[in-house]
Structure 1
Amino acid sequence: MKKKIILFLLLVLSVLSACSNDKNEVKDSSLYEGRNLTIAVAGKVPEIREQNIVFINVELKELNQESIQTKYDAVFIMKEDLS
């Protein structure tokens, strides 16, 4: 019986520690120091700490243009802009 209680407590502790919400995860990560990036964003522009990343707002219909591949290094489609 004691073994079951100890096993149950270990299981509960491991689940609780795995579900911890570390809000400093982004703050503690290293900064991007690569080349300057231009990123197209359909939706709300994310908040970042890096100075060498530029976000340009675009409409979803603009993403069909072939020139988008040469203008931007990446395209972000935010969740709120999908519906």
Structure 2
Amino acid sequence: MSGERSVNGFLITGLSASEWRILDAFEDDSYDLRRLTLTDGRDGWAYVWTNEAEVSADDWDPEQFAARELSAYVERCTAWRRNYDASMKGGHC
């Protein structure tokens, strides 16, 4: 996205190199990892969706997500992590 934008989110700090590798693998090429300036002037890293045509004009609603999608999302993440761990044991990554 071009220009200044604002989104709500959480800043997670203190991740290990291993945790960053897992996040990078999970987010894959659909996201760019970008350094952003936060509203308080600090910098933070964010995975930014690369397909602007699919970006919704509406803010993400955590309550709606929890009610409608969280259960299926957790299942998909669990399956992804099992596959990721298996590929790491097999030396494929």
TM-score range, shorter chain: under 0.3
TM-score normalised per structure 2: 0.22
Looking at both structures, which has the greater relative contact order when contacts are Cα pairs under 8 Å and sequence separation is at least 6?
Answer: 1
**Which one has the bigger helix percentage?**
2
